[in-house]
Chain A
Amino acid sequence: AQSVAQPEDQVNVAEGNPLTVKCTYSVSGNPYLFWYVQYPNRGLQFLLKYITGDNLVKGSYGFEAEFNKSQTSFHLKKPSALVSDSALYFCAVRVRISGNTPLVFGKGTRLSVIA
């Protein structure tokens, strides 16, 4: 079975400071990892994904994430946080990139960026 853990319910960071939102995963096989962001009463917006290749993945809005196989982690990072980054962030995993396997989501981490 595949699962995702986001150990922090809430992350607070001052505007302009770097931010990290943590994610660890558990799968039997090669993981395909994703980060999504959700604003209030909205659906999910895709930020970035790791399929294969370079462990450092760059995505939308200046976000990046690093795939670490030995630590089974895929932490989301941004060098300088903006107030507009405040939202709910979800990490998700799939075992295969095709087929009917759905995305499995972590419980989400609420990011608050304080001016």
Chain B
Amino acid sequence: GAVVSQHPSWVICKSGTSVKIECRSLDFQATTMFWYRQFPKQSLMLMATSNEGSKATYEQGVEKDKFLINHASLTLSTLTVTSAHPEDSSFYICSARLGLTGEQFFGPGTRLTVL
């Protein structure tokens, strides 16, 4: 099946710094990628929908200036958490959609801890 990778798998940073998370579709081209956030023992909350070459569409309540999303190619999307604070600590999961069938494949997730 299609593979989606995320890097890094975990990151610890100081408050006020920025962190970039990469999401790659390894064996297919993804015209659409999604970024989700998951709090402990909770469901996945959609943050934004990202289309290659265009601006991301953010869900209500998600700060676009804080969570910068770039989808520069059909195989790479990045999420940058700017000026991170402890409340941004979470598990971030990306998902890539296989263009022809519309199936959605998920990355392994990135655990962000902000001290």
Q: Is the CB of A100 within 8 A of B49?
A: yes
Q: How far is the CA of A29 from the CA of B93 in the complex (A)?
A: 27
Taking beta carbons and an 8 Å cutoff, which residues of A are in contact with B?
34, 36, 41-46, 49, 90, 94, 96-100, 102-108
Q: Is the CB of B49 within 8 A of A102?
A: yes
Q: How far is the CA of A96 from the CA of B101 in the complex (A)?
A: 11
Give the residue name and chain of the A residue nearest to B45 (CB).
Answer: A105
Which residues of B, 61-115, contact A by the 8 Å Cβ criterion? 91, 93, 95, 101-109, 111
Q: How far is the CA of A49 from the CA of B1 in the complex (A)?
A: 14
* Contact residues on B (Cβ < 8 Å of other chain), bracket: 20 to 34
Chain A's nearest CB lies how many Å from the CB of B55? 13
Q: How far is the CA of A89 from the CA of B102 in the complex (A)?
A: 21
Cross-interface CB contact of B106 among A43, A106, A107, cutoff 8 Å:
A43
Interface of B: prevailing SS: strand
Q: A100-B51, A102-B49 are in contact. Are A107 and B43 (CB under 8 A)?
A: yes
Taking beta carbons and an 8 Å cutoff, which residues of B are in contact with A?
1, 4, 6, 32, 34, 42-44, 46, 49, 51, 57, 91, 93, 95, 101-109, 111
CB contacts (< 8 Å) of A98 on chain B: these are 102
Q: How far is the CA of A37 from the CA of B108 in the complex (A)?
A: 12
Q: Is the CB of B34 within 8 A of A41?
A: no
Looking at A44, A99, A103, A107, the one whose CB has the most chain B CB atoms below 10 A away is A44
Q: Is the CB of B104 within 8 A of A103?
A: yes
Q: Is the CB of B43 within 8 A of A108?
A: yes
Chain A's nearest CB lies how many Å from the CB of B33? 10
Q: Is the CB of B42 within 8 A of A108?
A: yes
Q: Is the CB of A46 within 8 A of B1?
A: yes
Q: Is the CB of A103 within 8 A of B42?
A: no
Chain B's nearest CB lies how many Å from the CB of A8? 14
